[in-house]
Amino acid sequence: MHWRAKGVLQKVLGHLPGGERAHYLLQRRFGGLRDFRREFDIKMDDWRLMAGHLHTAGRPIAGARLFEIGSGWYPTFPFACYLGGARQVITVDLNRHIKPELVRDCADHLARHTALIAETCGVPEEIVRQRQRQLAARLQHGDDVGTATDGVVIYDAPADASRTSLPAQQVDCVFSNSVLEHVFPDAVDGIYREAMRILAPGGIMFHSVNCGDHYAYVDRTINQLNYLQYSDREWRQWDNAFLYQNRMRAYEFVDRAVNAGFEIALNTECAREKRLAELAAMTVHPQFAHIPPERLCVTSIDFIGRKGVVQATS
């Protein structure tokens, strides 16, 4: 599908009554949800990478108090963290996208990943299997996410991750996966400030950001740097309620975290030869011309920001 056609279709659906439902059904029939098993396994691999980064940073999943930004249609990360022994997982979304049928599918598919979760979190696999079976059974019975997880996973939507009602210094880790690239830049700053407030001293903020042009996943004639050819005014023609892309570069997410007071403990920013070649073959809009190619071309990044143990008092 041509990327412009998808942009126009999504923009139209975003203004129609029932457009969100229609968009979801199209994703189930033609989009990423068409092959749920594949989509789910990709998310579980993302979770594995995150859990490994958290462990290296000294904040393993087991026993942790976690806060997820961007629940999506089904809670893969919160459920995997629950099975791995997390103490609490609060997951919030600006809009209530969660779909009961996908939540049940998510719980069922976790049965194929109990060994991975057990090894990653240092929990006996039998305990993980018992939790998975109980979770799946309770959801099939009609329980909501909170009841099915004995109150460990809390789903809150609509909710603003930049203005929560959580008490200060009560969370060990704030995280997101492929979310921040869809957030207005000013809201990113707000999310960071709120993370700094709710994190306990020494707590960490982990974000995995896919900051390439997402239209490249449906249109193979373009690459993930395609959207750098357009001005903000031009790009607004293709931005829409279902696929807003802020076009922030990877380093900007990290720099804004530093400005919010975080100490960077992980930064995977890397200029790849393929992306540098793609960038050299295209005409970049002047608004991006000041950015060095080795930074402009980066389309994904994982990073961890740590809150200092000693915080200044006002």
Confidence category of residue 311, pLDDT binned at 50, 70, 90: low
**Confidence check: pLDDT of 313 > 50:** no
Across the range 2-20, mean pLDDT stands at 81
pLDDT at 74: 97
Confidence category of residue 15, pLDDT binned at 50, 70, 90: confident
- Can you say whether the dihedral through the CA atoms of 59, 105, 31, 94 is positive or negative? negative
Across the range 60-78, mean pLDDT stands at 97
Entry pTM: 0.94
Provide the percentage of residues in the chain whose pLDDT is more than 90. 85
Per-residue tokens: 95: 């809009």
Torsion of CA 26, 27, 29, 34, to 10 degrees: 180
Rounded CA separation 303/305 (Å): 7
**Confidence check: pLDDT of 314 > 70:** no
pLDDT in tens, 160-182: 999 999 999 999 999 999 999 99
- Is residue 119 within a helix (H) or strand (E), and if so which, with residue range? helix 114-121
Q: Is the peptide bond before 124 cis (omega within 30 degrees of 0)?
A: no
Write the CB contacts of 114 (distance below 8 Å, at least 6 apart in sequence). Answer: 83, 125, 128, 129, 132
Confidence category of residue 11, pLDDT binned at 50, 70, 90: confident
pLDDT at 312: 43
How many C-beta atoms lie closer than 10 Å to residue 159's C-beta? Answer: 19
pLDDT at 222: 96
Whether 182 and 244 have beta carbons less than 8 Å apart is answered as: yes
Rounded CA separation 310/123 (Å): 32
**Confidence check: pLDDT of 72 > 50:** yes
Confidence category of residue 33, pLDDT binned at 50, 70, 90: confident
Q: How far is CA 27 from the centre of its chain?
A: 18
pLDDT in tens, 73-116: 999 999 999 999 999 999 999 999 999 999 999 999 999 999 99
pLDDT at 310: 67
pLDDT in tens, 229-286: 999 999 999 998 889 999 999 999 999 999 999 999 999 999 999 999 999 999 999 9
Torsion of CA 208, 211, 217, 221, to 10 degrees: -150
pLDDT in tens, 184-216: 999 999 999 999 999 999 999 999 999 999 999
Phi and psi at residue 66, in whole multiples of 5°? -120, 150
Domains in the chain (CATH in brackets) are: 3-306 (3.40.50.150)
Rounded CA separation 23/46 (Å): 25
How many C-beta atoms lie closer than 10 Å to residue 150's C-beta? Answer: 12
**Confidence check: pLDDT of 28 > 90:** no
Read off the amino acid at residue 121.
C
Q: How far is CA 51 from the centre of its chain?
A: 14
pLDDT in tens, 133-164: 999 999 999 999 999 999 999 999 999 999 99
pLDDT at 309: 86
Strand 171-177's sheet: what is its strand order? 153-156, 88-92, 65-69, 171-177, 199-210, 300-306, 263-267
Per-residue tokens: 40: 């789910």
Whether 40 and 109 have beta carbons less than 8 Å apart is answered as: yes
Whether 8 and 240 have beta carbons less than 8 Å apart is answered as: no
Write the CB contacts of 143 (distance below 8 Å, at least 6 apart in sequence). Answer: none
